[in-house]
Structure 1
Amino acid sequence: MATAAIITLVIIGVAVFLFATDLLPIDLVAILIMLALILTGSISAEEGVAGFSNKATITVVFMFVLSEALLKTGALQVLAQRLSKLFKRNFNLGLLLMMLLIAFISAFINNTPVVAVFIPVVIQIAHRAGLSPAKMLIPLSFASIFGGMCTLIGTSTNILVSGIAEKEGEAAIDLFAMTKMGVILLVIGILYMILFGRKLLPNRANQNLKQKFNLRSYVTEIELLSDSSSVNTAIMDSELVKDLELDVMEVRRSTNQYVQPAGDFILKAGDILKVRCNVDKIKSLKDQAKILVSTPIKIGDDDLKGTQSTLVEMVISAESELHNKTLKELDFRRRFRAIPLAIQHRESISNDGIYDVRLRSGDIILAEVKTHYVKELKRIESDQKAPFVLLSEDMITDFDKPKFIKVLSLILVMVGLAAFNILDIMVGVISCVVALVLLKVLDMKEMYQAVNWKIIFLLAGTLSLGTAMVNTGLDLYIAYFITNQLGGFGPVAVISGLYLTTSLLTEIMSNNASAALMAPIAIATAHGMEMETLPFLITIMFAASATFMTPVGYQTNAMVFSAGKYTFRDFFKVGVGLNLLFWVAASILIPLLYF
């Protein structure tokens, strides 16, 4: 082996160690790889930075923006609310449909923001069903991985492998080239999780999550409008109690007042309900009222028709000017441009309305403000004599049907043109994003903010690994070793070996890094066996994405690992069987479907 190849191999070894141990951020490791390869002469400076202009990197940049545009329409929140009701009726069916839904969405947009949107929803559903969120969060992440494997644009890993192939002179991989194999693995994965995997997940109580998502208790007032589904319904059967589990403390009807009404108390239009609930339930109430229009209500004096708002919690500071005053006296709504929804008082609130509650230091006001005004509240908070301290903020995304139709139409056109090879996928994604900006679905600032630059630097840096392996001949050495050891057993054994190697690498390092490392080897192996490269590249795509045994290999696994308070052992217990199933299925079916 030549000296240059040995140097490259040493750099790869150090990189794998750094990726596996997490001593440095993965994007920084990728840049260090690029610098080390340039300084040792394995690649030129131009080749080192070529990853930033690679088609794969640019495509992924604009895919992040496309994902953000879809999230901004509020469409996923609509789906999440629908799922919430289904889970209450049939948990197993809900889990199945959730995984199918997440997989389908993840096939066409980046799965990281999808999982981010669904994590709090899944936790809320789990609490309502009386289950541990740990029973549902790993299935959420795995479903996003299953779906991402089904199309070229489903995950940055697929785009990266395709970009490496094109750089090495291979034909571009079609948008749906991996779909037939991806759908088979999707079915295997979902069946495994429904029948076996879910039983292997922990069922421990998660106190930290409960504290995080079942937040401080508030008392607020809700007025039932004439067309509310809760009108002429018993309290215990009303949607407010059954779906949102609000605790109705009092009902006011004209001049009559009913304290602690019985469950069979019939609600009427115009009733004002004093309820106790938390922030998450108030947000769900607002989401349902805005999105599903099935519970026409008013919270306080808010008719819930605002757009793009944020819930904020404002705690009254010790020497605040708000102390011992009411919201009415303070002209709170006009002064802070905020609609008060509820107040957390140290004792139960006996007043008729929140505007008449005399505030005390330590009380917390839950209010809704326009999202753009949160910055001004933070400026007020930073003043030396700040009247309040912001504890949290939680953005509410309204469902914007016209924007959703625009985004969905553009995505469908892009997918259609790419599927029939009329338009290159990179050009299609860029065109989509430009159209969205021109149509004012997104502005340029939002476009820049939508990009996960950590992933982009990781892609650009690790692409230099493949170039160095080709320049130094290291890919040929490794390919020769693989074909020499496994080639005699036929392509099934070679595919199996490549899959297993890539899969194990992905479990200890980033999926994109392992794909960048193994794709040149797969190409060289195919050439050495005088066979088409597509089956070998497809193998790398699946093996690099199908990572289930540890939380470190895939970003969505890391997200639910933190949210669900899992241990490495939890992932290993449920993931090892799935990894083995995918390995066996890929080893047998990829040669059958692609050779």
Structure 2
Amino acid sequence: MTFEIGLVLGIIALAVVLFVSERLSMDTVAILIMALFMVTGVLTPAEGLAGFSNPATITVASMFVISSAIFKSGALNSVGIGLTRIGRKNYLLCLLSLMLISGALSAFINDTAVVALLMPVVIQVSHDIEVSPSKLLIPLSFGALLGGVCTLIGTSTNILVSGIAQAQGLEPLQMFEFAPAGILFLLAGVIYMFFIGRHLLPTRKHSKDLSEEFNLGEYMTEVVLLPDSPSVGEPLKKLGLVKNLDMKVMQVTRQKTKLSATPSLILQANDVLKVRCGVEKLKMLKEEKGIKLKSERKFLDEDLLTSDSKLYEAIVTPNSYMEGKSLKELNFRSYNHGAAVLAIRHRDEIVNEKPTHVKLSAGDVLLISANAQQADKLRENEDLLIISQTERSHFNYSKIIPVMIISVGVVMAAATGLVPIVLSALVGVVLLILFRCIRMDEVYKAIDWKVIFMLAGVLSMGAALEKTGAAKLLADYLIYGLGDFGPHALLSVFFFITFMTTNFMSNNATAALLAPIAIVTAQELGVSVKPFLMAVAYGASLSFMTPVGYQTNTMIYGPGNYRFSDYLKVGTPLNMLLWLLASLILPYFFPF
């Protein structure tokens, strides 16, 4: 143990603590660690920044663009239509089809995009067959995760592990090298969910009426503005209820016409205001001069809608700019042309009182009142995903054909070894731009820059472990403790450590940390590196035990109204099953 190795292990320990605590975003932690390695002299600036030019980073960025082009072309709309038809027939058939379809798509398309595409369909189908969405959303996410391990491009983690291997002078992993074991993992997961997992899924109440689901009825009442009210002739923002009592006016009805409650709306006598407030404020409301309470009843969706507005559910996406900020800080209403957030489902609670002050997290569900123009603006927001009242994009045949030809060409060129995956993906992006399948501004939006910066940052961890000999030291400790049991036992341990770690830390950070150690361990044992690398790649993506282990698990957390314990209950047996399966099949497909 040298001082340099101790320094590297100390910095990595700090990284693990920061990743698990989530005090800082994943990309911030990754860049911070990269900077520490360079400042302390462990890595030179060239070595520290090499992650930005690593083939893995460039390939992942390119695949984001290709996935976005496929998504925007409408080529996958038929998948959603077909799933809807199947789902309306039978719940078990729907669950089976859902996992197989999401798995098949995720093998070639970014799994976050697959879940974003299918989630609104799944929620609608659950309403049609009168099954709680919580019975289908975990299978959707798990299917996407299982399918992602079937190919090199199925998940960024596979590409990252391949890049680490290549950086250390090893052969990069091939496109369909993951398929034999990956398909068995997928089938095992589907069988588990069909026979066992579905019985462990929670049944959470999910009302078709969004105002009821978000408990708005308990906080809504109607107020009539009397002719002697001092607010008559004044804009809504100067209304005493808004200024003094900090209440939210949801709607104004004037002579049977429903009006949007914009701050500049000039109030008139006999206007009927729908107001949301708590019980204590309701008491204060009765004492306010110039108004009278018309009713105290629950309101349904149609009560809250103006002639051109609807209620929408939208989730805060993983790695969103909105994470850690409140709606007030984001100036949400102004930025989205007046769309109003009525309530937030934040983790296990519904927030109705002052939702604009809540610090947002990935997976939070926002209940938004918006007209058509505002809804279009919301759909353009890359940080939100509308999961209700969605309108499918039309098939764009002028784009579908070239998009599909280029995408298939990218896969086949890499699979046949004609060119490396990084080159085929880059050429694919260029062709998509030249054939006007995607615009340059859409290219920049399609790339999840937080993931790119995180990849570049975590790659420095592997470089530091390898350069200082820390990877060799850790490998020696593992061999000393378990070497007598042979490579099979060590392989099983690597898979176990990887999937356990990735349930609480970024899967890419886990892979970047463990892949160099796995390589050195295999070399010290004098066996093939391939099975150990594959154990890390598979283990880092098969994360089912927590909502924070993988992005798709986070995405379904709010819409499914899940709790942390639900993932443990359903995911733990599946992880144990796959651990046992991996210990048996990885040495068979990837001999020592």
- TM-score, normalised relative to structure 1: 0.72
Describe the shift of the 1:389–1:459 C-alpha distance in structure 2 as closer, same or farther (beyond 3 A): closer
1:67 and 1:113 in contact (8 A); partners too: yes
Matched, 1:24 2:6: no
The 3 A distance-change label for structure 1 pair 212 and 499 is farther
Cα distance in 2 for partners of 1:405, 1:19 equals 42
Kept after mapping to 2: 8 A contact 1:148/1:154: yes
Uncovered stretches (5+) of structure 1, i.e. residues with no partner? 217-312, 324-345, 347-359, 368-376, 383-387
Distance apart, 1:98 and its partner CA? 1.5
Q: 1:538 matched to which residue of 2?
A: 534
Indicate how the Cα distance of structure 1 residues 211 and 61 shifts in structure 2: closer, same or farther if over 3 A, else same. Answer: farther
What is the aligned-residue RMSD (CA, Å)? 2.9
SS across alignment from 1:467: helix
User: Equivalent residue of 1:364, what SS?
Assistant: coil
- The range that moved more, 561-570 or 200-209, is 200-209
Q: Judge conservation of contact 1:316–1:363 (CA < 8 Å) in 2.
A: no
Give the whole-Å Cα distance in 2 for the aligned partners of 1:42 and 1:380. 46
Residue 200 of structure 1 is matched in structure 2 by 200
Matching residue's letter, 1:520:
P
Identity of aligned residues (%): 42
Cα deviation for residue 178 of structure 1 reads: 1.2
Alpha-carbon shift at residue 401 of structure 1 (Å): 2.8
Counterparts of residues 253-264 of structure 1 (less than 5 Å): none
Q: SS of the counterpart of 2:395? A: coil
Residue equivalent to 1:561: 557
Quick one: distance in 2 between partners of 1:361 and 1:125? 25
Which residue does the alignment assign to 2:441? Answer: 445
Q: Provide the residue aligned with 1:64 in structure 2.
A: 64
AA matched with 1:195: F
SS at match of 2:260: strand
Structure 1 stretches of 4+ moved >6 Å: 212-216, 377-380
Residue 393 of structure 1 corresponds to: 375
Q: CA separation of 1:212/1:20 partners in 2, compared to 1, >3 Å: closer, same or farther?
A: farther
Relative distance call for 1:48 and 1:415 in structure 2 (3 A) is same
1:315 Cα deviation from its structure 2 partner: 2.9
Q: Displacement, 1:390? A: 4.8
* Equivalent runs, 1:95-174 vs 2, <5 Å: 95-174=95-174
State the AA in 1 paired with 2:137. L
How many Å separate the matches in 1 of 2:25 and 2:115? 22
Corresponding residue of 1:512: 508
Output the CA distance in 2 between the equivalents of 1:75 and 1:362: 33
Helix, strand or coil for the counterpart of 2:375?
Answer: strand
Distance 1:40 1:428 in 2: 37
> Within 5 A, what are the aligned runs for 1:75-86?
75-86=75-86
1:488 aligns with 2:488: no
With the length of structure 2 as denominator, give the TM-score of the two structures.
Answer: 0.72
* Cα offset, 1:402, TM superposition: 3.4
Decide whether the 8 Å contact of 1:316 with 1:389 is kept in 2.
no
Structure 1 residue aligned with 2:183: 183
Matched length: 453
Query: Hey, what does 2:8 align to over in structure 1?
Result: 8
- Offset, 1:362: 7.6
For residues 550 and 381 of structure 1, do their structure 2 counterparts lie closer, same or farther at Cα, with a shift above 3 Å needed? closer
Given that residues 127 and 208 in structure 2 are in contact (C-alpha distance below 8 angstroms), is that contact kept between their aligned partners in structure 1? no
Letter in 2 for 1:474: A
Mapping of 1:569-580 within 5 angstroms?
Answer: 569-580=565-576
Query: Take 1:474 and 1:364, find their aligned partners in 2: how far apart are those partners?
Result: 66
Look up the SS of the partner of 2:549 in the other structure.
coil
Q: 1:315 aligns with which of 235, 260, 275?
A: 260
Measure how far apart 1:74 and its partner are. 1.5
Contact 1:479–1:525 (Cα < 8 Å) also in 2: yes
The offset of 1:77, in angstroms, is 2.7
Decide whether the 8 Å contact of 2:309 with 2:371 is kept in 1: no
Check 1:5–1:125 CA distance in 2 against 1; reply closer, same or farther (3 A cut): same
| 1:24-62 Cα deviation digits (max 9, x unpaired) | 111100011101111122211111111011000000001
Task: Give the Cα–Cα distance (whole angstroms) in 2 for the partners of residues 538 and 319 of structure 1.
Answer: 61
User: Could you tell me whether the CA contact under 8 Å between 1:315 and 1:365 is conserved in 2?
Assistant: no
SS in 1 for 2:558: helix
SS in 1 for 2:154: coil
Matches within 5 A, 1:352-431: 363-366=306-309, 390=371, 392-393=374-375, 395=379, 396=391, 397-431=393-427
1:381–1:554 distance in 2 versus 1, CA, 3 Å: closer
Q: Which amino acid aligns with 1:393?
A: A
- Alignment partners' CA distance in 2, 1:10 and 1:212: 51
2:281 aligned residue:
none
Whole-Å Cα distance in 1 between the matches of residues 88 and 481 of structure 2? 54
TM-aligned CA deviation for residue 503 of structure 1: 1.2
2:52 alignment partner in structure 1: 52
* 1:344-392 deviation digits (Å, cap 9, x = unpaired): xx9xxxxxxxxxxxxx99833149xxxxxxxxx989957xxxxx97585
Aligned to 1:547, the other structure's residue is in SS state coil
Secondary structure of 2:473's counterpart equals helix
Q: Which amino acid aligns with 1:523?
A: I
Shift of residue 99, structure 1, vs aligned partner: 1.1
- The DSSP-based 3-state class of the residue aligned with 1:89 is coil
Counterpart code for 1:176: F
Is the contact between residue 309 and residue 370 of structure 2 (CA under 8 Å) also seen in structure 1? no
Amino acid at match of 1:124: Q
